[in-house]
Amino acid sequence: MPLPDPSAWQPRPLSAGEFTVTEPATGDALGTLTLAAAEDVARAAAAARAAQRGWARAP
Longest dimension (CA), the chain: 51
pLDDT for 25: 98
Q: Where are the domains of the chain?
A: 16-57
Query: Cα separation of 47 and 39, whole Å?
Result: 12
Residue 18: the pLDDT is 87
Q: What is the pLDDT of residue 40?
A: 82
Q: What is the pLDDT of residue 28?
A: 98
33 touches 18 (CB < 8 A): yes
Question: Predicted confidence band at 27 (pLDDT cuts at 50, 70, 90)?
Answer: very high
CB 37 within 8 A of CB 18: no
Residue type, 7: S
0.75 surpassed by pTM: no
29-51 tens-digit pLDDT = 999 988 888 888 898 899 889 88
